[in-house]
Homo-oligomer: A and B are copies of this chain.
Amino acid sequence: MNAFSPPPRLLMGPGPSNVSPEVLAAQARPTIGHLDPSFVGLMDRIKDQLRLAFRTDNRVTFPLSAPASLAMEMALVTLLEPGDTAIIAQNGVFGGRMAEIAQRAGAEVRLVSVEWGKPVDPEAVRASILEAPQAKLLAFVHAETSTGVRSDAASLCALAREAGLLSVVDTVTGLGGIPVSVDEWQADAVYAGTQKCLSAPPGLAPITFSDRAVSAVKARKTPIQSWFLDLGLMLGYWEGEGARSYHHTAPVNALYGLHESLSRLLGEGLETAWARHRAAHDRLVERLQGLGIAFVVDKEHRLPQLNTVWLPEGVKDVPERRRLLDEFGIEIGGGLGPLAGRIWRIGLMGETCRIENVDRLAEAIAAVLP
């Protein structure tokens, strides 16, 4: 059978973003054993890098060996027991997924629904907490990939803390693109993706748990429903002093890539990376508004790295995106759920986030407009 040659693509969809040659080269270094002392040293370096990226001192901080969807599941099934109440804010696809996961874990879910394209409303969350003071946790999406909205993580986590609830924060698309400050927020379980603003290939999910979250796990009355996601078992591998206990075989080469991508991000500096995302976003706004294209999200709640725009008049969603892909080699994303067929999602994440890429996209869109 023939080798697979991926076509050249500028990845401006909701993820993955383009991966740098350095990260690709790191991934291609020879595989070594997952218990090799040299690899264990790398694991420790990655945990330290993730603490810097998440801005946390949390001891329990590591990359889950699976996509971010499973990190979402880990955060929720780790903290919830059957019969617990979870307050879950939904303003897009991923809040809905959180609710489904929590229900399957036997929790009672109180949904705080917000119109898609708007941030989570702290007042509605406050009201829900007052109605369900027995709730165990509040979960919400910091950076909604389906709508391009940023919610106010600091305020929402503070609401949870004041009421004695744990907080679960999805920042899959946030980490590396906008400020994420786990300790300042006093958030309890926070997870991210590698294929968004970190620009590592998809397949891993950085996650961090506060000491409060770890105490809550230790106080559980029932075992965690998933063996693979059992935090105590997993930490025997990620945290053991000296010899690590076998849990699963870590994705060695993917971790080489993540290490390199985190080195690049931290070498650039978080603040510089955030400013780069903002500058590219500003350019995109300028270029697309010049084409008469309107943004879905109010200015103050937009994610610079994930832009949603209304489909221009007379433009068909799938055929025009296919033209961008086939004729210009540019991938952008369509809408999900109630926004399917109505919006485009334009990612400016990580390595993709460069002014020249914005210009290239703007010119391609101008060419496909009717």
Contacts and interface: CB of A to CB of B under 8 A. Distances in A.
Interface in A1-38: 1-9, 11, 13, 15-16, 18-19, 22, 24-38
Interface in A233-269: 243, 246-254, 256-257, 259-260, 263, 266-267
A108 interface: no
A224 interface: yes
A226 B30 contact: no
A304 interface: no
A65 interface: yes
Contact of A223 (B36, B65, B104): B104
Interface residues of A, number: 79
A249 B9 contact: no
User: How many copies of this kind of chain does the complex include?
Assistant: 2
Interface stretch (A66-74, A157-165, A295-303): A66-74
B9 A33 contact: yes
A101 interface: yes
A39 interface: yes
A45 interface: yes
A175 B45 CA distance: 34
A271 interface: no
A251 B202 contact: yes
Contact of A227 (B35, B42, B97, B223): B97
Contacts of A249: 15-16, 67-68, 193, 195, 202
Given A7-B36, A105-B225, 13 more contacts: A1-B263, A4-B29, A9-B30, A25-B28, A27-B28, A31-B202, A66-B228, A67-B251, A69-B227, A70-B70, A201-B251, A203-B254, A251-B251
Interface of A: 1-9, 11, 13, 15-16, 18-19, 22, 24-39, 42, 45, 49, 65-70, 73, 97, 100-101, 104-105, 193, 195, 201-203, 223-228, 243, 246-254, 256-257, 259-260, 263, 266-267, 318, 325, 331, 336
A34 to B, nearest CB: 7
Contact of A32 (B11, B32, B70, B105): B11
